[in-house]
Homo-oligomer: A and B are copies of this chain.
């Protein structure tokens, strides 16, 4: 998505106060190239072949570190399903109830008006839709 190359990921992590270890670079790289908001297990399974020593704990540690430093977001649409998103720009998520795929969409989330007073300090806004995606509704 951001079209960063290996060296640029290294710089990007460093500017965000993250030491660019090999594992961290590869995990960020994977997130960058995956449009489907992967779960921990998918990330682990995708990398274990090329990084045979990789531990699932490292994946968890790294993702939590990335979140803490603000370079990725956690995406929770339903139940206990936790996904990760390297795109931290303002956008919404749609999950198809049939195929389970998660789509990004544009929305003016900032513009949404509420009856929360000004005394509420809002740090994050998330918008989740669910339903049936085009390719699944065609099959039906």
Interface residues of A (CB under 8 A from B): 74, 76-80, 82, 92, 94, 97, 103, 105-108, 112-117, 119-134, 137
Contacts and interface: CB of A to CB of B under 8 A. Distances in A.
13 contacts: A74-B79, A79-B82, A106-B114, A107-B115, A108-B112, A114-B129, A121-B132, A121-B137, A123-B130, A125-B128, A125-B130, A126-B128, A127-B128
Copy number of this protein in the oligomer? 2
B112 A107 contact: yes
Contacts of A76: 76-80
Contacts of A107: 112-115
A103 to B, nearest CB: 7
A124 B97 CA distance: 10
A116 to B, nearest CB: 5
Contact of A113 (B108, B113, B129): B108
